Structure 1
Amino acid sequence: MRYFIVSGEKSGDMHAANLVKSILSQDSDAEIVGWGGEAMEAAGAKILKNYRELAFMGFWEVIKNLPTILGFLKEIKVQITDFQPDVLVFVDYAGFNLKVAKWAKSQNLKTAFYIAPKAWAWQKNRVYTIKKYIDELLVIFPFEKAFFGNFGISTTYVGNPLLDQMSGFEANPDFLKDQNLGKKPIIALLPGSRSQEVKNMLGLMQTLAETKKEFDWVVAGVSSLPNELYAFENLKVVKDQTYDLLKNATAAIVTSGTATLETALMAVPQVVVYKTSVFSYWIAKSVVNIPYISLVNLIGEKEIVKELIQGDYNLEKVEFELNKLLPGNNLREKQLTDYSVLKSTIGEKGASDKAAAVILKLAKK
């Protein structure tokens, strides 16, 4: 069978990579191409475009880059037509992928969407687009099955793929020695995987590091971004070793996204932060209809971690919230207890295998 997989960012590449491995384990003759990154390629897919070229975030940023995005849409349509997949698989990255899905249905291609668009949070009208253009929807949160199922969408709850990713983690026993760390408690800084996020988040973290020198402030960097983005005094950067960093951290400051859930599953107390352009934030405020932005709070359906968004992301508030999470504080213990409940809610590993089984069944129809 022939599979064309589209992922548009680092987390999607990670989950798509595990999906590729599962597809190959269930279909030894599988031929897999698509858009993604190094993880997908290492898993066995042929990459036609790297996700780094697609990393636009925020409403204003998308508008500014619209001609480029339209060019990408034209390009991927040609590639899909040339490859003629038995099934087209979208992984997250809803804005772009749903546009491709609409065209794909006009070409009578079978479509599956893994890690569903968050229509329950904003742009609820997307459910009608999904129903019209997606054959199989594979969701990763328990409440999503009922939400999308109520609209008559063929929906399968497969579990959360982060558990698959994290189950393969083997801690480096020499991490602290290799990074010349361990003399001070570590505060992990997870500023995101996109250049715009890093630019928006790291400056304040650097200022905080200057005022609290009793800690080692260590940035979870990614090798796909240039070194100059991380060029801050008092901040040590460790690239592509986020789980080792979290395993050795006392607490963390985390940009909202998948990393908040990873941090919770690694049992590291955290403050969640987020800042974007004024225009993008204003648009988001007007359309988003959820009480929280972090996955930890959304899944837990309560405030497990403190969220400091936009103007609240300032030195005074971050320091205040961080201090409450240090050893000896009651909030730290409460957050760790809530993490345990959260983990039981998510379930067991195996999302990639379950998703692959549904996709294979669709491809063979």
Structure 2
Amino acid sequence: MNYYIIAGEASGDLHGSNLMKALLKKDVNASFRFWGGDLMQKVSNDLVKHYKDLAFMGFLEVIMNLKTISKNLSFCKNDIENFNPDVIIFIDYPGFNLRIAKWAKQKGYKTHYYISPQIWAWKENRINAIKRDIDKMYVILPFEKNFYEEKHHFHVEFVGHPLIDAIADRNQVDEYEFRANHELSEKPIIALLPGSRKQEINKMLEVMLSVVDSFPSYQFVIAGAPSQDFEFYKKFIKNKNISFVSNKTYDLLSVSFAALVTSGTATLETAIFKIPQVVCYKGSWLSYQIGKRLVKLKYISLVNLIMDKEVVKELIQNDFNTKNLKKELNVILDPNERTKYFMNYYELEKALGGKGASEKTAKLIFKAIKHQFTHEI
């Protein structure tokens, strides 16, 4: 079978690569063409565009890059027609993917969506496009099944969260070797996860690093994003207690004592590693003002959303400052408070549905396409 996959972000690249591996187990003759990143390219060489050339953050940046986005849409449609896939698999990235899905459905392609757009947070009216243009939807958060089926009468498959597999299947890290390889001291590590895009790293990292001098007994280690070179981070490393590790976020989390994390998938990853964290977010003033009027959620972190309570502290916009960050970091370093985090994290992992998300999704996709193929013959 021919599979065309579109992932537009680093997390999509991770989950796309594991889905491709799982599809190859089901379909030894699988042929891929995809938008993604380095991880997907390790599975197959047919990369069309890298996600680092697609990521536009915030309302203003999207508006400023409308011409580029339009060109990418046209290019993608032509590329799909040339490849003529048996199925198109969309991974999150809704602004782009739902536009392609509308066109693809009209052209008669089979459309499967893995990792639902977060329409339960904002742009709920996208449900109309999803019901019209998507043949199969595979969701990874436990509350999404009820959202789709009870509220919107649209059948979806809950397959569990692929991060469980991605983290469980990684190679174990020797802490002594890791510290030696990256010239880290014996001090407990506070990991800094400032995001993956330059504009968000610039906003987040400066505030995160402003607390370093207040915690001399710890070493702060920046988790460098795979899409950014070390040269970009050099300007931030002005203190001997600040270190840098590139493209080794999981290894870093596995040996960390605490973490400061930019809101996004990384908050869930940090929780699965059982690392107490403070969730941070700061956008441009205009983007934040627009966003808070559109997003209708009590929390911004996936950890709190899934548990439906404040498991991790969220410092958002003006609350994300040096004073508050020092206060909350002291909390998660306290032994008594840390015990509460660990207990909540174990409950969180149960709610995520256990291992096997990629395999379950691959099985369902292959079964659907095989049935369609047999029926057509």
Mean CA deviation greater in 66-75 or 208-217? 208-217
Alignment pair present for 1:308 and 2:315: yes
Alignment pair present for 1:123 and 2:123: yes
Mean CA deviation greater in 152-161 or 288-297? 152-161
1:79-101 Cα deviation digits (max 9, x unpaired)? 00110000000001111110110
Q: Contact between 1:87 and 1:362, CA under 8 Å: does it hold in 2? A: no
Q: Contact between 1:198 and 1:229, CA under 8 Å: does it hold in 2? A: no
Look up the match of 1:251. 258
Alignment of 1:48-87 (within 5 A): 48-87=48-87
Look up the match of 2:296. 289
* AA aligned opposite 2:115: I
Look up the match of 1:335. 341
Alignment pair present for 1:352 and 2:358: yes
Separation (CA, whole Å) in 2 of partners of 1:67 and 1:123: 23
Look up the match of 1:94. 94
Look up the match of 2:200. 197
> Which of 176, 186, 191 is the matching residue for 2:189?
186
Percent identical residues: 48
Separation (CA, whole Å) in 1 of partners of 2:136 and 2:8: 19
Q: Contact between 1:199 and 1:229, CA under 8 Å: does it hold in 2? A: no
Q: Contact between 2:89 and 2:112, CA under 8 Å: does it hold in 1? A: yes
1:104-153 Cα deviation digits (max 9, x unpaired)? 11111100000001111111101111000000000001111121123232
Look up the match of 1:228. 231
Alignment of 1:263-302 (within 5 A): 263-302=270-309
Separation (CA, whole Å) in 1 of partners of 2:130 and 2:123: 12
Look up the match of 2:214. 211
TM-score, normalising length: structure 2: 0.94
Separation (CA, whole Å) in 2 of partners of 1:244 and 1:261: 15
Q: Contact between 2:91 and 2:114, CA under 8 Å: does it hold in 1? A: yes
Look up the match of 1:153. 154
TM-score, normalising length: structure 1: 0.97
Mean CA deviation greater in 268-277 or 209-218? 209-218
Separation (CA, whole Å) in 2 of partners of 1:226 and 1:115: 28
Separation (CA, whole Å) in 2 of partners of 1:280 and 1:181: 37
The alignment partner of 2:3 has SS state of: strand
Mean CA deviation greater in 223-232 or 243-252? 223-232
In structure 2, list runs of 5 or more residues that go unmatched: 373-377
Q: Contact between 2:184 and 2:243, CA under 8 Å: does it hold in 1? A: no
Displaced runs of 4 or more, over 6 A = none
Separation (CA, whole Å) in 2 of partners of 1:349 and 1:358: 16
The alignment partner of 2:167 has SS state of: helix
**Number of residues of Structure 1 aligned to a counterpart in Structure 2:** 364
Mean CA deviation greater in 109-118 or 181-190? 181-190
Mean CA deviation greater in 302-311 or 168-177? 168-177
Root-mean-square deviation (CA, aligned residues, Å) is 1.2
Deviation of 1:45 (Å): 5.1
* AA aligned opposite 2:182: Q
Q: Contact between 2:188 and 2:256, CA under 8 Å: does it hold in 1? A: yes
The alignment partner of 1:325 has SS state of: helix
* AA aligned opposite 1:165: A
Mean CA deviation greater in 170-179 or 18-27? 170-179
Deviation of 1:170 (Å): 1.8
Q: Contact between 2:173 and 2:254, CA under 8 Å: does it hold in 1? A: no
1:149-176 Cα deviation digits (max 9, x unpaired)? 2323231010000011111112221111
